[in-house]
Every structure is written in structure tokens, then in C-alpha cells.
Amino acid sequence: MRFRRFHLLLPIISFSAFLHAGPVTIEQSDAGQLQLMKDGQPFFIKGAGGNTHLKVLKESGGNSIRTWGVEALEEKVDGKTLLQRCEELGLGISVGIWIGHQRHGFDYGDTEMVEKQRDMVRKTIETYKDHPSILTWGLGNEMEGPMETTGDPAVWRELNELAGIIKSIDTDHPVMTVIAGTSAGKVKSIIELYPNIDILGVNVYGGAASVGASLKSAGWTKPFVLSEFGPRGHWEVAKTPWGAPIEPTSREKAASYYASHELGAEGDAGDCLGSYCFVWGQKQETTSTWYGMFLPTGEKLPVVDAMCRAWTEAWPANRCPKLVSLKSSAKGAVVAPGQLCAATIDIADPDGHPLSYDWQITAESTDTKVGGDKESVPPSYPDCIVYQDAHQIAFKAPEKPGAYRVFIFVRDGQGGASADNFCFRVGTDQ
């Protein structure tokens, strides 16, 4: 679902020095299940989508990252390229190759556009195929479209052609394509029109636990990866009377991440090769905190601790603050313009660190997109805050009628944080 890419400029890089890297294969285990093999050893993906905070990922027990566009490989992380940093840390990369979406104007009937995209894929594989951190090729993301149940046959046929191009250049890395959900229609279309695929990636949130069974029911016999999972999506939750989606709390999110990993990736899920939680970083999507596992200022959130627990069976040395509750009479309510309101929190830090508090009031996002396309950040209203301290805030409702949110960010000064928010509306119809 999540990131949008339009073009790719590939640097002239040679990885001939890394030709000793062994192939990544899919083989049957002694127990009869398909598994990923890297350097001759079983490799169960414990991954995250994103390209930042790689040291935290490694320390938390992660072993792989997923990107959406090839340009991410050359972006700087800790002063080095992503490729260099992943090699240093021993992290595998599912390299996303962004393929043009029809909703963004790509025409699969335009021969020139199609040939240009094929050339891009060829150059991508030739450039990076010998790097030892490459795990799989992620060919396209939700190519069927966010709301489609089957997808355009022309798109699946072209993806099959592109996968064939990849295999003609690189026989050492499997090809994965990612879809949204487990609609039987799209799975059956892929089975019929896209035989060159090796792994099916599935982006799913609320229904992560049922992915394996749903794919089997649709006739899928090859392995799959839970390519995105996280909190309940903004399309899966209850809404306020004015239509604002109610974001899960930080505690609910942590429980959701942990359960999705355990049930969707390591439970009775068929031939699952592992999973990638979303998103190992921060982005504005519906809100500034819904999907990001870190704050914009770099602190990790409780979902990171939950993944550490899932990956290692142990909590990290420093745990995030625990936001027990966020209460307000304005929560989910309609208030008058300029009305004085209050909110309180119940918070604790598992490690006893002193905490800092940051309250914010923002407008409800109106720049909502589909498929994870980039959204703008809504305006904030710092002048509405009348008083705040460690556990409470007094604020005046904005004068302009409309939908708003109150956010609380709590930091422990040790790289950990927690964040929650609630919706309210300013109007004259209380």
C-alpha cells in the first residue's frame, strides 16, 4: 500500500567484488515446509519496511528491510549508503522496484512507456544483483490498485514479463510481487497470468492472522511473505459521527504488531517465509502517528518494543513510556468555538526515567490519499494551548468550525517515546 515512486536514476556501480555471495533459494525443510535459504542456512525474515534506524532494527532482532524504490539503496544512512550500512549490520534487503501504477498515469498499452520501464528493470538488476545484502526483488507494490479485487490482466502479464527479464539476468534471487489483502480474485489472476513469480507478498493489517489460510483457499501453492503489517488500518476502525477514523492507542498498536507477527508469520500460516512490519520510520498517513514506528524526532514507539519481544523473546534494555490512558470530555465530542477544554493522561515509565511531555492540537487531515500516496501535514494550533504540565492540558477549541485532534507525545530522554491522540469537532451543534 504505502509509498509512491515515479522515476529511477541508477548510479554506475559495480559489485563484481561481491561475486562470492551465495544464491538465495527457496527449498523444502525437513518438516515439509518451504523456507528461504541464504548462504546455505535457513533465513526466516524478521523484517521492517523502511530504510532508517537500522542499528535499532538489528539490536531489536530484525534481520531484513524492505524498500519500495531502488533509489533508497543509495540514500545515506548513518553517513553511508543503505547498501553499505546493511552489509555492515548483516541485514538482508528485499529490494523494491517501483513499477508504474495506472492511477498515476502509467499506460500499459503505451509501447514506449512499457519498453522504458523494462529497460529500467534490466539496469536495476545488472547494477545490484551481485551485492551480498540482496535478499529478494520486490517487483511492484499493490499493482492491482488499492480498491480492486482482481487487477488488470494487462498489468499481471507485464509483471510476468518483467519477472522473466529479472530471471534471465539473475538466477540467484527470488522475485516477489506485493498485493493488498488476499482477495481470491486477484490471487487466481496471478496464478493464471503471472507464473514467473516466486513469492507472493501480502500487505494486510487487521486480518494478518488469516493470510495463510486465505491464500490456500484461493489456490496459492507457492510461499508468501507478510510484506506489510501493523495496527488496524484507518479503513478498518470505528469513526466519529463526523467521519474521522479513531486511531488505535499506543498500547493497542503494540499488541496488534505482536499478535500479527506471531499468528501471521509463525503460526499455522502455510509456507510463510517471514514478515515486514510497517513502517520502520515515520510518515504522515491519516495522522502523523498512525503507522510510523518512530517519531519525526527519532524516538522509537512502543510498537518497536513489541517487535523486539516478538523477534527475540525478550524486552529491550530500555522500554518506551507506557501511556495507560488519555481522557477528555472533548474526546469524540462537538464543542463550541473557543470553548475551554481539558485533557489528562495516566503514564508510567517501565525503567523509571524522568519524562517530558509535548501536547499538540492539529486540524484533521483533509489531504487523505489511497495506496500510501504522499500526504501533506495538517496545520497545528499552538496558540490554543492555555496551560499544560506533566499530566494535563487546558486548551481553547479553535474558533474555526471543523475537525481537530489533540496529540500527546511523551519522551523518556533515552530514545523511547509514546504517543496518543483523540478527535473532537468544533461546531455549533453540540
> Which has the minimum average pLDDT: 197-211, 349-363, 365-379, 411-425?
365-379
DSSP 246-269: -PPPHHHHHHHHHHHIIIIISSS-
> Which has the minimum average pLDDT: 11-15, 50-54, 322-326, 408-412?
11-15
The Cα–Cα gap between 360 and 295 comes to: 14
**pLDDT tens digits for range 154-190:** 999 999 999 999 999 999 999 999 999 999 999 999 9
**pLDDT tens digits for range 120-141:** 999 999 999 999 999 999 999 9
Contacts of 87 (CB under 8 A, 6+ apart): 131, 132, 133
Q: Are 137 and 176 in contact (CB under 8 A)?
A: yes
> Which has the minimum average pLDDT: 1-15, 120-134, 197-211, 291-305?
1-15
Confidence class of residue 7 from pLDDT cuts 50, 70 and 90?
Answer: very low
User: Could you state, in order of their start, the residue ranges of all structural domains in the chain?
Assistant: 16-312, 323-426
The Cα–Cα gap between 218 and 258 comes to: 26
Where helices occur in 90-152 by DSSP H, the ranges are 111-128
Confidence class of residue 366 from pLDDT cuts 50, 70 and 90?
Answer: confident
Query: Residue 254 has which C-alpha cell?
Result: 503494540
**pLDDT tens digits for range 216-231:** 999 999 999 999 999 9
221-238: burial string, b at 16+ Cβ within 10 Å, e else: ebbbbbbbbbbbbbeebe
**pLDDT tens digits for range 315-341:** 999 999 999 999 999 999 999 999 999
CATH topology for 323-426 is: Immunoglobulin-like (2.60.40)
Residue carrying C-alpha cell 534494555: 317
The Cα–Cα gap between 398 and 421 comes to: 17
Confidence class of residue 13 from pLDDT cuts 50, 70 and 90?
Answer: very low
CATH number of 16-312: 3.20.20.80
Per-residue model confidence (pLDDT) at position 160 = 98
One fold for 16-312 and 323-426? no
